């Protein structure tokens, strides 16, 4: 049992009306499982409106604001002053009683993929707890911790940010034994103002490290600043997963289905197969192996869990379309300049008659938006035969490709079509696809590139 009413009261200072015990924690009555504790948060809707429904669906109990509801005296509820603050209290209590090891992951790109790789490799060494979704904000992190089984051997916590000052308190809740910064790039630069500000915010994850904790870095920019912060907060236990670092790739062979790597982790050298294609995936795997070694595990043994690893929906999953006669690379969940470049390069590994990039706006870039989008023109011309774009910001990329210098080896005609949004672009892309094509679809979540993915997966079999 995950939580008893007594432990809930001890963790939060709340009052339980009757004894009860919960096997899980939920904040959504629609996805709640029987036996869960339902936490009534106030966000877009007031969670107290759904307490009765949660209890009817089999919730073991509910955590509610004191005086918010007129419930029977024997209702299985824990009354607190502030449900969100109490969720954080549950996270602290859960971390304090946890005897396993915690790995926290942040970075501009690759957080969720790295978290899932960690789940795969640590699963070969013991029981692993990690969120099924990208729960990396002020609600998702404490919720993941509150769901953490005390008997697990490892926990992997993803930590994200959109604004300054968000990572340090979440890292303080997680108190990782190992903290990973995957990279620093222009994601959310509209809120942050500069790459240096993003680097400072990402490096705040090291403030939460437990004594003797380790920092794992895979650096893209602001390297000196990140290393300095890591060395300050992690003493000398810093693992650089880069060429010449404590962990490095000695040789690699990339193919459409994955990568064959020969790596060194400290003084140990071994070969491994990674079941997800792309240089960026190989770089993520290197950080994961560094984390395993920092935890005291056997990286060669753990690496066996990477052979069957594959990208998740919206994050690089490959799908057959047109009855298997064309290929879709679904990257529709998010986008930044760095991740778009990485996935455009992935097109080079695919056997196809035409390589098509379908790109939607990268959000939260502020004044940097036009230039960041236009800067992708050279990458598009290098890796794609055709380009479809949508959104006002991607309009700058469309124009940049059209205005390519005449000396360019690839004609500007690669820029096929631009639409105002994904809804208008989807049928245009769907009508243009033919057998032999490989299609990359990518954009920030708010760009709704999922509409393009849906249109392509609904195409009938080609004749």
The answer to whether 67 and 82 have CB atoms below 8 angstroms apart is no
The answer to whether 178 and 186 have CB atoms below 8 angstroms apart is no
3-state SS assignment for residue 303: helix
The pairing of beta strand 258-265 with beta strand 268-274: antiparallel
Comparing C-alpha atoms, which of 114, 113, 92, 93 is closest to residue 103? 114
Q: How far apart are CA 340 and CA 234, in angstroms?
A: 32
State the residue for tokens 């490709």: 401
Annotate 397-455 with DSSP letters as a single string: HHHHHHT--TTSSS-GGGEEEEESSHHHHHHHHHHH--TTEEEEEE--GGGTTHHHHHH
Which tokens go with 237? 């236990």
pLDDT reported for residue 376: 95
pLDDT reported for residue 242: 82
Give 312's DSSP letter: P
Which tokens go with 377? 């023109």
Lateral strand order in the sheet of 77-80: 15-16, 77-80, 61-65, 36-39, 24-26
Q: How far apart are CA 47 and CA 53, in angstroms?
A: 10
10-residue mean pLDDT profile of the chain (463 residues): values are 97 96 96 97 92 96 94 94 98 98 93 94 96 91 98 97 90 97 77 78 92 84 66 76 89 94 95 93 94 95 93 82 94 89 92 95 90 94 95 95 64 78 96 96 94 95 66
Helix axis angle, 167-174 to 83-97, nearest 10°: 40
State the residue for tokens 């003797």: 212
Q: How far apart are CA 208 and CA 167, in angstroms?
A: 9
Alpha-carbon torsion (293, 121, 205, 37), positive or negative: negative
Alpha-carbon torsion (281, 286, 290, 295), positive or negative: positive
Which tokens go with 262? 């020969």
If one counts every other C-beta atom within 10 angstroms of the C-beta of residue 9, the result is: 15
Give 73's DSSP letter: T
Share in percent of the chain as helix, strand, coil (round to 5): 40, 25, 40
pLDDT reported for residue 220: 55
This prediction's pTM: 0.88
pLDDT reported for residue 407: 45
Comparing C-alpha atoms, which of 367, 332, 358 is closest to residue 439? 358
Q: How far apart are CA 337 and CA 373, in angstroms?
A: 7
3-state SS assignment for residue 197: helix
Q: How far apart are CA 435 and CA 461, in angstroms?
A: 10
Greatest Cα pair distance in the chain: 80
pLDDT reported for residue 416: 77
Q: Which domains does the chain have, with CATH numbers?
A: 3-81 (3.40.1390.10), 98-306 (3.40.1190.10), 317-457 (3.90.190.20)
């Amino acid at each position: 049992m995950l939580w008893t009413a007594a432990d809930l009261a001890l963790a939060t200072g709340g009052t339980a009306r009757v004894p009860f015990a919960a096997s899980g924690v939920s904040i959504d009555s629609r996805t709640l499982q029987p036996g869960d504790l339902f936490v009534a948060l106030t966000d877009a809707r007031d969670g107290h409106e759904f307490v009765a429904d949660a209890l009817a669906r089999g919730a073991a109990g509910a955590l509610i604001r004191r005086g918010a509801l007129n419930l029977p005296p024997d209702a299985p509820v824990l009354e607190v002053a502030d449900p969100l603050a109490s969720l954080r209290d549950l996270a602290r209590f859960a971390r304090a009683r946890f005897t396993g090891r915690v790995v926290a992951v942040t970075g501009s790109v690759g957080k969720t993929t790295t978290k899932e790789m960690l789940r795969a490799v640590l699963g070969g060494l013991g029981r692993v707890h990690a969120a099924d979704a990208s729960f990396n904000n002020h609600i998702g992190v404490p919720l993941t911790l509150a769901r953490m089984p005390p008997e697990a051997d490892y926990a992997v916590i993803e930590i994200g940010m959109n604004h300054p000052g968000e990572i340090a308190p979440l890292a303080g809740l997680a108190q990782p034994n190992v903290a990973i910064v995957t990279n620093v790039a222009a994601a959310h630069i509209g809120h942050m103002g500069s790459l240096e500000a993003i680097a400072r915010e990402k490096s705040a994850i090291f403030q939460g490290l437990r004594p003797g904790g380790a920092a794992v870095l895979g650096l893209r920019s602001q390297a000196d600043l990140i290393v300095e912060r890591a060395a300050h907060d992690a003493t000398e236990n810093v693992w650089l997963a880069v060429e010449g670092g404590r962990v490095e790739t000695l040789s690699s062979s990339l193919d459409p289905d994955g990568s064959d790597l020969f790596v060194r982790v400290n003084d140990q050298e071994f070969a491994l197969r990674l079941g997800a294609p792309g240089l960026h995936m190989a770089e993520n795997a290197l950080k994961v192996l560094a984390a395993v070694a920092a935890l005291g595990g056997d990286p060669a043994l753990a690496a066996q869990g990477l052979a069957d690893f594959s990208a998740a929906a919206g994050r690089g999953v490959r799908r057959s379309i047109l009855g298997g006669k064309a290929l879709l690379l679904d990257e529709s969940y998010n986008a930044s300049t760095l991740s778009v470049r990485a996935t455009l390069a992935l097109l080079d590994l695919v056997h196809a008659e035409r390589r098509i990039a379908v790109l939607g706006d990268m959000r939260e870039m502020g004044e940097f938006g036009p230039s960041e989008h236009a800067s992708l023109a050279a990458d598009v011309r290098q890796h794609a035969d055709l380009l479809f774009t949508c959104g006002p910001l991607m309009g700058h990329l469309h124009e940049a490709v059209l205005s390519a210098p005449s000396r360019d080896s690839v004609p500007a005609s690669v820029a096929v079509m631009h639409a105002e949004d994904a809804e208008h672009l989807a049928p245009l892309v769907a009508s243009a696809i033919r057998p032999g094509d490989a299609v990359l679809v990518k954009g920030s979540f708010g760009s709704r590139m999922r509409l393009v993915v849906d249109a392509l997966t609904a195409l009938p079999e080609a004749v």
